[in-house]
Amino acid sequence: MGSVEREIIVEAPVEQVWAIIGDFAHGPIRMAPGFVTDSTLDGPDLRIVTFENGTVLHERFIALDEAERRIVFSIVGGSVTPAHDNSSMQVFPHADGSRFVWIHDTLPHELADAFGTSMEHGLEVFKQTVENAVSTAY
């Protein structure tokens, strides 16, 4: 199994970061506007996420833990159809704001490199988006 872990420090309050990450329906487009072009629900537990390059992912909601600020979901279809997939996103308090940890496990393991690259890009867009919102609020 391929496993990718990425984390980033975001200079924003943990509550603000979690409000985006914990939003299963619209979190992806709020997280990375432009990189993600659409995020819609298809029933209560399935979202369809469209990326700027045309990739479409069908993701199933697995779990949400408000106390731990952790959400878990899985790619179950779309343009990419892994044999197994599981992702978790979690937000922790950090001296400079928030530490955002994203873990993605997938089969076949060859998908891990592509997912890692996409995750890195998404995290950079997220960091810019949230930090710009924080700086304009003050």
CATH value at residue 119 = 3.30.530.20
**Structure token digits, residue 74:** 């899985």
Task: Count Cβ atoms below 10 Å from residue 70 Cβ, excluding itself.
Answer: 18
Q: What are φ and ψ of residue 48, in 5° steps?
A: -115, 120
Element (H, E) at 132: helix 111-137
Q: Is the pLDDT of residue 136 over 70?
A: no
CA distance 138 to 130: 13
Number of domains making up the chain: 1
Q: What is the mean pLDDT of the chain?
A: 93
Percent of residues, the chain, with pLDDT higher than 90: 83
Domain holding 42, by residue range, is 2-137
pLDDT at position 137 is 55
**Structure token digits, residue 9:** 């420090």
Half-sphere exposure of 116 (CA within 13 A, CB side): 11
The per-residue pLDDT for range 74-93, each reduced to its tens digit, is 999 999 889 999 999 999 99
What's the Rg (C-alpha) of the chain?
A: 14
CA distance 28 to 121: 13
pLDDT at position 1 is 80
Task: Count Cβ atoms below 10 Å from residue 17 Cβ, excluding itself.
Answer: 27
CA distance 4 to 105: 6
